[in-house]
Structure 1
Amino acid sequence: MELLSTRKKILVLDKDSRMLPVVDEIMNYGDFDIHILYDANAVYDKARQINPDLIILDYLLLDNDCAMICQDFKANTQLEAIPIIIVTAFNTKKVTADSYKCDALFVKPLDMNVLASRIDYLMAS
Structure 2
Amino acid sequence: MSARASRAPARRVLVVENDPESRRIVTKVLALEGYETLEAPDGRSAIALARQAHPDLIIMDLAMPELDGWEASRRLKADPKSADIPIIALTAFAMREDEERARKAGCDGYLSKPCRPQTIRATVRNFLAPR
Per the normalisation by structure 1, the TM-score is 0.83
Q: Tell me which residue corresponds to 1:41.
A: 44
Q: Tell me which residue corresponds to 2:103.
A: 98
Offset at 1:23? 1.9
Q: Tell me which residue corresponds to 1:15.
A: 18
C-alpha separation in 2, matches of 1:111 and 1:39: 23
2:112 to 90, 107, 125: 107
Question: Deviation string for 1:61-89 (max 9, x for gaps)?
Answer: 11123221111111111111101011112
Offset at 1:94? 3.5
C-alpha separation in 1, matches of 2:17 and 2:62: 9
Higher helix content, 1 or 2: 2
Structure 1 residues 50 and 68, CA gap change in structure 2 (3 angstroms): same
Question: Deviation string for 1:90-120 (max 9, x for gaps)?
Answer: 3224411423320111112213223212211
C-alpha separation in 2, matches of 1:40 and 1:66: 6
Q: How many residues align?
A: 121
What runs of 5+ residues in structure 1 fail to find an aligned partner? Answer: none
Structure 1 residues 103 and 49, CA gap change in structure 2 (3 angstroms): same
Cα pair 1:67 1:100 within 8 Å, conserved: yes
C-alpha separation in 2, matches of 1:14 and 1:109: 13
What runs of 5+ residues in structure 2 fail to find an aligned partner? Answer: none
How many percent of aligned residue pairs carry the same amino acid? 25
Paired AA for residue 111 in structure 2: F
C-alpha separation in 2, matches of 1:89 and 1:105: 11
Cα pair 1:58 1:87 within 8 Å, conserved: yes
- Alpha carbon RMSD of aligned pairs, Å? 2.0
Cα pair 2:86 2:127 within 8 Å, conserved: yes
